[in-house]
Structure 1
Amino acid sequence: MEDNAFAAFSFSAPAPPTSWNRTEKTVKRRKLTAKVERFDAAATVGRLPCLVKTEPKLEIEDSDQAISGNIVKVESSSKAVKARQSRSKADNSTKECAPENWEQIVQGIRSMRMGKDAPVDLFGTHQLFDIEADKGTQQFQALVAAMISSQTRDAVTGAAMQRLRAMPGGLNVAHIASDDVEIDALAEILKPVGFYRQKAKFMKSIAQSLAAPPHNGAVPNSLEELMKLPGVGPKVALLVLWVAFGMGEEGLIVDTNVRRVCSRLGWVPADATPELTRRTLESWMPRSMWADTSFLFVGFGQQVCKPLAPKCEGCKVSQLCPSAFKQSPKRQTRKPK
């Protein structure tokens, strides 16, 4: 058995002894096969090797079989059956509350993002760690990039990450947590990142927290533990789980671009917060699409569905968008006479 995976196993009743001389009876036998793979060590996300947790699978197979002797009953777990029924009902409920034509809209946005030349494609968190560093350092750099990217343009974040990685001693937990790196020095490197002074404090505090037990230098791979770190909210934590650990199904990542696009499409109210947007989308969108949709919508918001003067005339889903061609044009500034 491999270290990183559970072997498949089956439950079934033993065959009765051949010496039994009883009337042959046909009974319903149920075979349960449970397959669980905990981690795939060979998986990668972008350029980063990672451990990907997979979901347990339960297969139930019914068959008629003639046996002799006492009837052997093999019953499935009632909890497993109820869980399957519950998931089926949830799927039906999800389809009912999903917006009309949402799949066509996502596909249309995907076709517009084929070029992958938006700022998030070039300077997103998944592009900013050192591909030659060890896995632990890559995960810490992904965490730092995600944290400083909040309320900052991707190009500015990318430039700041280059400066941080070029520091003597490097961008790693041990170095940032040490007395050799002062908060003021970090702030100067981060500038002009939005709220760079506060983020410098967060970075120092995060490194010190990770350097101490129970983390012992490792970035946690759970939403709860990540959100205990200074300056790490739901969006940053989910982004880290996706980029650093390949856990894209933990939650849908919503930034200002995703919130704006979903509001214009009528999927959420105009005044919806990013958190409300996330919960709303997760209530009906298949979990397997969360990470991909987040990435698609961020770039779409940067290039087409812009805050001011969105490019509705070139948008392939404008005919399905209730806000198309209704945005106020960009105000013209008067030139001094």
Structure 2
Amino acid sequence: MNLFDEKIDWSASLEPLIEKYKGKKHPLDYQNIYQLMIMVILSAQDSDANINKISPALFEAHPNLESLSVSNVDALIPHISKVRNFGTKASWIIEIAQSLKKDENIPLNMENLVALKGIGRKSANVIMREANVPAEGIIADLHVIRVAPRIGIIAESKDGNKVEKQLMQVLPKEIWGEIGMAFSFLGREICRPTNPKCDICPVNNCCNYYRNL
């Protein structure tokens, strides 16, 4: 049976998942919102582990937006040269720093975050979730894109924005802030691409994939 054929109260069904991961810090090892914003930009098409590795030296040299705003691309590149697309990302970061100038000017709403170079909806959702401000969307990273259709909540799509839109239509706004990151952790730890650990999954009772095993 396909879960699309029946009405499921997803809010209630996903409660155990939210309970398991609620408030769990993002895998990027940041100390403040400035660091998180920079690391989120750097992590596009790269791994959180790689960004965590290069970050200490980067933030020692550039501890805040103020120090970045008086720097330049050439000075920034040696600190991020092991990151994918480092040249483009360096120019985005310097442009953001020169425009915002101080850490306290980092916006914490969707409209102003996505107006910044290198920050799309996924990144903005991550920043807003970690800053603990009301959600305006749902994080849709690679794990969410894979896990949400597998469970049976939405149709499959490789487009993060489409996945987010579908999830926003199905799920109540009060869980938007936590559910994306919860799916992401589920995908990292339990709902792996191959050999998922279905027997210990907190939502196996409403999962399409598990039901069809």
TM-score over 0.5 (shorter chain): yes
Residues in 2 aligned to 1:321 and 1:217: alpha-carbon distance in whole angstroms: 42
Partner residue, 1:332: none
For 1:326 and 1:192, locate their aligned partners in 2 and report how far apart those are by CA, in whole Å. Answer: 42
Amino acid at match of 2:40: A
**2:135 corresponds to which residue?**
249
Provide the C-alpha distance between the structure 1 equivalents of 2:103 and 2:17, rounded to a whole number of angstroms.
42
C-alpha displacement at 1:272, in angstroms?
Answer: 4.9
SS in 2 for 1:123: coil
Deviation at residue 99 of structure 1 after TM alignment: 5.3
Instruction: In structure 1, list runs of 5 or more residues that go unmatched.
Output: 1-97, 130-137, 328-337
Read off the aligned partner of 1:155 and give its amino acid letter: A
Number of the residue aligned with 1:38: none
* Pick aligned residue for 1:203 from 80, 93, 99: 93
Q: Tell me, what secondary structure is at the counterpart of 1:224?
A: helix
Counterpart CA distance in 2 for 1:205 and 1:173 is 11
Query: Which position in structure 2 is the counterpart of 1:156?
Result: 50
Instruction: Please state how far the C-alpha of 1:207 moved relative to its aligned partner.
Output: 0.7
- Give the alignment's Cα RMSD to 1 decimal: 2.9
Higher helix share: 2
Identity of aligned residues (%): 25
Which one of the candidate residues 64, 79, 88 is aligned to 1:172? 64
Is the Cα contact below 8 Å between 1:123 and 1:154 reproduced in 2?
yes
Q: CA deviation at 1:305?
A: 1.0
Per the TM alignment, residue 122 of structure 1 is displaced from its structure 2 partner at its CA by 6.4
Return the offset for 1:255: 0.7
For residue 27 of structure 2, what is the amino acid of its counterpart? F
Letter of the 2:79 partner, please give it: I
Q: How high is the TM-score relative to the length of structure 1?
A: 0.54
Question: 2: distance between equivalents of 1:317 and 1:243?
Answer: 24
**Conservation of the 8 A alpha-carbon contact between 1:173 and 1:217:** no
- CA distances 1:5-41 after superposition (whole Å, capped 9, x unpaired): xxxxxxxxxxxxxxxxxxxxxxxxxxxxxxxxxxxxx
Aligned 8 A contact 1:209 1:229 in 2: no
| In 2: Cα distance, 1:308 partner to 1:185 partner | 42
Q: Which has the higher strand share?
A: 1
Distance of aligned partners of 1:314 and 1:197 in 2 relative to their CA distance in 1, 3 Å threshold = same
* 1:108 CA drift (Å): 3.4
In 1, Cα distance between equivalents of 2:73 and 2:200: 46
Structure of higher CA gyration radius: 1
Report whether the alignment pairs 1:225 with 2:93: no
Alignment of 1:117-132 (within 5 A): 121=25, 123-124=27-28, 127-129=29-31
Q: TM-score, normalised by structure 2?
A: 0.81
